[in-house]
Amino acid sequence: MSKLDTLDFSVLSLLQENGKASYSDIARKLSVSEGTIRSRIGKMVKDGVFEFIIHVNPNKVGLCVQAIIGLTTKLGRQEEVAGWLHQFPEVRFVAAFSGKHDLMLQAYFSSNEELVHFVNKELAKLDGIDTVDVSIELKQYKDSFSYAIPKNSNNSISS
């Protein structure tokens, strides 16, 4: 697992603009051979630097209710609760946090009923949970995946 160099960052930048850019395209823009781009991308993907994915617009597939849920958990049971939450397909994101809530999660539902069911039936099953704070998304302003990449950073950091 080595550091990323300038070329790697240029590749990332072009791929952030267009996730479907071809190796050849990128190679032409960066004035290197297609094989170089392919090997750089292959290495980065293998090392977990990035992955090729599709981002589905939840609203377009009927997931109209989006929520961020903050939890406090009983001492020593956070991992257990997080592991349980991990398994729900409705749950897109779970992490432990400092601050008011031990755990926060982001989840998508197709209706308010499903959200209520998730909170009152599924979460209620877990007695490691102390409190639940549900925030329902009213209007989205930004949901970007092309965040700023610090080009001068030390990138020998692992996941």
Partner DNA sequence: TTTGAAAAATGCGAAGC
Partner DNA sequence: GCTTCGCATTTTTCAAA
CB of 8 to DNA, least distance (A): 9
Q: Tell which positions 18-37 bind DNA, by CB under 7 A.
A: 22-25, 32-36
Query: Vertex 88, ends 47 and 103: CA angle to 5°?
Result: 75
Name residues contacting its own copies, limited to 109-138 (CB under 8 A).
Answer: 110, 133-138
d(C-alpha 154, C-alpha 1), whole Å:
12
Nearest distance from C-beta of residue 25 to DNA, angstroms: 5
Total residues binding DNA (CB under 7 A): 15
Cβ partners under 8 Å of residue 55, min gap 6: 145
What does DSSP assign to residue 152? T
> What's phi and psi for 93, nearest 5 deg?
-145, 135
Among 1, 3, 6, 7, binds DNA (CB under 7 A): 7
Which of the choices its own copies, DNA, none does residue 74 contact, using the CB cut-off of 5 to 8 A by kind?
A: none
**Is residue 83 involved in binding DNA (CB under 7 A)?**
no
In angstroms, how far apart are the furthest CA atoms of the chain?
58
22 contacts which partner out of DNA, its own copies, none, CB within 5 to 8 A by kind?
DNA
Is the C-alpha dihedral spanning 114, 120, 122, 123 positive or negative?
Answer: positive
Q: Is 69 helix (H, G, I), strand (E, B) or coil?
A: strand
By rule CB under 8 A, what string of x and - marks binding of each residue 71-100 to its own copies? Answer: -----------xx-xx--xxxxxxxxxxxx
The site for DNA (CB under 7 A) is made up of 2, 7, 22-25, 32-36, 38-40, 43
